[in-house]
Amino acid sequence: MIVLSLFDGISCGMVALERAGIKVDKYYSSEIDKYAIQVVDKNYPDNIKLGDVVKWQEWNIDWSSIDLLIGGSPCQGLSRAKNNRENLKDFRSVLFYTYVDILNHIKNVNPNIKFLLENVKPDKETLSIMNETIGLEPMIINSNLVSAQNRVRCYWFNWEVEQPKDKGITINDIIYDDNYKTFSDPRIEKTKVATKNYLKWDKSGKGYWSQQDRAYYKTGKMCTVPKAHPSDKLNIIISDGVYRRCHPIEAERLQTLPDNYTSCIKSHSKRIGLVGDGWTVDVIAHILKSLK
């Protein structure tokens, strides 16, 4: 296959293609984040880098040769976890239309093009607009079926795929270093409240519950690996009153990436952020396997 990956990030798409057993003759990637590009250079130095997606009309490639178009357009304006979101008017999420423009351009010269687009699940009105624009409805898959992470995403693709089977993976299965950045705080013990999946606390005393004020049970699932400020948002319960942060290798395992895939980046927080901005590889590999 010849593959074009938009918003390529750390090339999770390439990992998924390999895992699905699909031979890749050329892999074109469009990405501008310098840290993501460092990770790609470490793992896939032969990827053909195209640069900024908004300059796609300047790319000197044979559009008719592209067999598969993949990408996960930026989701910041669509996430329902954010207040005052601008949906597709957001300057990042509007790049959804750039993906569609490129898809339509390829369709003109290759009507048999296969495509895969990923994004968060937006509100109903925005989802309806996206479905109408791209011409089909998505499959909604939670990564918790194949990983130890809850991550609900929409996947638009133009071939038949069944839902993945539940592998029953928990946080216990992805532990790498249980002594990594342990912490305790008497304010946590005074305010902690147990839920089904995690403990939450309010050290501020203001009744404000935020994602970083949680720690997850090893027998359950982690929250979605985030892109922004991830180092204090993935907490694990060690024992009564003792907690710890998530190691970058554990974050990679949550996204079903190979261990140390991002090890060329020194900052642990940056590593986790890059992983969080990527795909759950085994979900993408499951979708791609149906192409065979």
Q: Do 104 and 71 sit in the same domain of this protein?
A: yes
Q: Are residues 40 and 122 in the same domain?
A: yes
**What's the rounded Cα separation, in Å, for the pair 243 and 204?**
18
The reply to whether 250 falls in a domain is yes
Average pLDDT, the chain: 92
Same domain, 33 and 158: yes
List phi, psi (to 5°) of 219. -80, 0
Q: 198 and 73, same structural domain?
A: no
**pLDDT value at position 13?**
98
**What pLDDT is attached to residue 211?**
84
Are residues 37 and 144 located together in one domain of the fold? yes
Domain contains 267: no
| Of 239, 264, 238, nearest in space to 248 by CA | 264
3-state helix, strand, coil in the chain (%, to 5): 35, 20, 50
- Region 32-40: mean pLDDT is 97
Domain co-membership, 27 together with 129? yes
**pLDDT value at residue 76:** 52
Structural domain of residue 67, as residue ranges?
A: 2-163+280-289
Q: Is residue 272 part of a domain?
A: no
Shared-domain flag, residues 30 and 80: yes
Contact 147, 255 (CB under 8 A): yes
At residue 273, does pLDDT exceed 50? Answer: yes
User: Which carries the bigger pLDDT value, residue 73 or residue 215?
Assistant: 215
pLDDT value at position 25?
97
**259 domain residue, yes or no:** no
User: Is residue 12 domain-shared with residue 155, that is, in the same domain?
Assistant: yes
pLDDT, one tens digit per residue, over 50-64 is: 999 999 999 999 999
Residue 62 burial class via C-beta count within 10 angstroms: exposed 0-12, middle 13-18, buried 19 and up:
exposed
Based on the domain organization, do 56 and 18 belong to the same domain?
A: yes
56, part of any domain:
yes
Average pLDDT over residues 214-241: 92
Q: Give the global pTM.
A: 0.92
Residues 6+ apart with CB under 8 A from 113: 66, 67, 68, 69, 103, 106, 107
Q: Is residue 182 part of a domain?
A: yes
Residues 142 and 207 in one domain: no
Q: Is the pLDDT of residue 107 over 90?
A: yes
For 274-284, write each residue's pLDDT tens digit. 999 999 999 99
Whether the predicted pLDDT of 266 surpasses 80:
yes
Nearest one of 101, 133, 139 to 118, comparing CA atoms: 139
Q: Do 83 and 226 belong to one domain?
A: no
- 264 located within any domain: no
CATH no. for residue 61? 3.40.50.150
274 found inside a domain: no
With H, G, I as helix, E, B as strand and everything else as coil, classify residue 4: strand
Question: Structural domain tally of the chain?
Answer: 2
Residue 91's pLDDT is: 46
Residues with Cβ within 8 Å of 261's Cβ and at least 6 positions away in sequence, in order, are: 10, 15, 39, 43, 252, 275
Confidence at residue 47, expressed as pLDDT on a 0 to 100 scale: 97
pLDDT at 78: 46
Q: Find the mean pLDDT for residues 260-289.
A: 97
Residues 175, 157 share a domain? no
Copy the structure tokens of residue 206. Answer: 């203001």
pLDDT per position as a tens digit, 148-204: 999 999 999 999 999 999 999 999 999 999 999 999 999 999 999 999 999 999 988
- Where are the strands (E) in the chain, listed by range? 2-6, 26-29, 48-49, 68-71, 114-120, 139-142, 152-157, 182-183, 193-194, 198-200, 214-216, 235-239, 242-245
Gyration radius (Cα) of the chain, Å: 20
- Residue 202 sits in a domain whose CATH number is 3.90.120
Q: What pLDDT was estimated at residue 90?
A: 54
pLDDT in tens, 116-161: 999 988 889 889 988 999 999 999 999 999 999 999 999 999 999 9
The sign one gets for the Cα dihedral 44, 46, 47, 52 is positive
When pLDDT is cut at 50, 70 and 90, the band that residue 77 belongs to is: very low
